[in-house]
A and B are shown apart, each in its own frame.
Chain A
Amino acid sequence: GAGVSQSPRYKVAKRGQDVALRCDPISGHVSLFWYQQALGQGPEFLTYFQNEAQLDKSGLPSDRFFAERPEGSVSTLKIQRTQQEDSAVYLCASSLAGTSSGYEQYFGPGTRLTVT
C-alpha cells in the first residue's frame, strides 16, 4: 500500500513569497502531524489534526504558519511571507488512531524548503 506522500519534494522560495506544502496521509489514518526539521536537528512538532479538527497548533513558530485539513484527509501547510529561518525540511506523518494510543507515526519523505 502507499505510504505518506508529500509534494513538492523540493521548494525554493524567495524571501517574502508564500508557499504551500501538501501531505497525503495513508488512507484511513485519523491523525496527521506536521514537523519541522532543521539541518542536523531532530524533527520538531508543529501541529496535529484528528480528522479535520486541528487539535494542537502549539508548535507553529509564528502566525505566518497555517495548516488545514478540510476533509480529514489531505493536509496543506502554508507559510506566508517566507523568511530565511523557515528553511528546513517539513515532515508530515500520519497515524492510525488518536495520539493517546501511542501508535507509531508513519512519515513522508519531507519537503525541503530553501528560502533565498
Chain B
Amino acid sequence: AQKVTQAQTEISVVEKEDVTLDCVYETRDTTYYLFWYKQPPSGELVFLIRRNSFDEQNEISGRYSWNFQKSTSSFNFTITASQVVDSAVYFCALFPVYGQNFVFGPGTRLSVLP
C-alpha cells in the first residue's frame, strides 16, 4: 500500500523564520519519486521539487532545501527566511515508478505572518 503522512496540519511562523514541513511515506516499491507541491489560495498546484529513491543527496535551491532519509522514509522540506508569499498549503506526494499516479499527503497549511 502507498501512503503519505503529513503530521502537521497547520503551521504559523513569523516572517524571516525558517520552517520545516514534515513528510513520511510508505511504499513497498524500491523505485519511486517524491515531490513537494505548493497550493496557494488561487488553487493551482505548483511544482517545487522532485527526488528519486536512489538519490538521497540533500540539496539547497534558493530558499528551499530538503532532507530525504530513506532509512526513516521521510522527505522533509525547509523554507529558509520565510516570506508572506510562502503562505499556502504544501503537499508531499509519492510517485511509484511502476504505478500510474501520485499519492498525495493531506497537506500542511503554512501561514507566514508579517
Contact = CB atoms under 8 A, between A and B. Distances in A.
B105 A102 contact: no
Given A91-B45, A107-B45, A109-B42, A102 B52 contact: yes
Interface residues of B, number: 26
Interface of B: 4, 33, 35, 37, 42-47, 50, 52, 91, 93, 95, 97-107
The 5 closest A-B pairs by CB, nearest first: A42-B104, A107-B45, A45-B101, A102-B33, A56-B100
A102 B50 contact: yes
Given A41-B107, A42-B107, A107-B45, A100 B101 contact: no
A44 interface: yes
Nearest to A3: B44
A106 interface: yes
| Interface residues on chain A, size class | 20 to 34
A10 to B, nearest CB: 11
A45 B50 contact: no
Interface in A71-116: 89, 91, 93, 99-100, 102, 104-110, 112
